[in-house]
Amino acid sequence: MKLKYLLLLMIAFTAGYKANAQANKTDSAQVAKTLHDLLRICRTVDFADPNVTKLGTFYKAAPYIVYRGDDKKRAWKTMSDYNNEYEKKGVDDICERINRTANRDSTGYKITKYITGKESEGTWHVLMVSYNVKGIDKKASYAFLKIGNRFGLGDID
């Protein structure tokens, strides 16, 4: 009888582990896609797009960047609103920072590690990225939070 319970416990544990591993695999793929899309948006601005003139250079990036302002109800819980001048400046600053990191590598960046960690804002999903600038190897960390069913960039180190 004990053997039967032990086997059931092992099966339950293994199933739980596989489910968690599958969720991590899905999350890591979604985070990597979000990073790829955001890097592309920041790197390739279509100046023929009338919204670039009307709204601003990096308006397409706002839905990919977590709001980090003073509004406690929104901070770390929503994406940026490019129509708000304060948030627009934050989005532009982040895109400019992205363009000074991995987007400077003409051969492309490489994701070297994916880690998660819980903080007060939620579970952070961090991609460690290596890239090369003028023959010098560089590294950056891009940290994402899941908001609703999407991931948004919350920090770059």
Q: How do residues 17-38 score in pLDDT, each as one tens digit?
A: 443 444 567 899 999 999 999 9
pLDDT at 137: 94
CA angle 40, 97, 41 (to 5 degrees): 15
Task: Provide the residue ranges of all domains of the chain, joining segments of one domain with +.
Answer: 2-156
Does residue 9 carry a pLDDT above 80? no
- Cα–Cα dist 83/55, whole Å: 7
Q: Model pTM greater than 0.75?
A: yes
Distance of CA 149 to the CA centre of its chain: 13
Over the stretch 46-102, which tens digit does the pLDDT of each residue have? 999 999 999 999 999 999 999 999 999 999 999 999 999 999 999 999 999 999 999
Q: Rounded mean pLDDT of 105-128?
A: 94
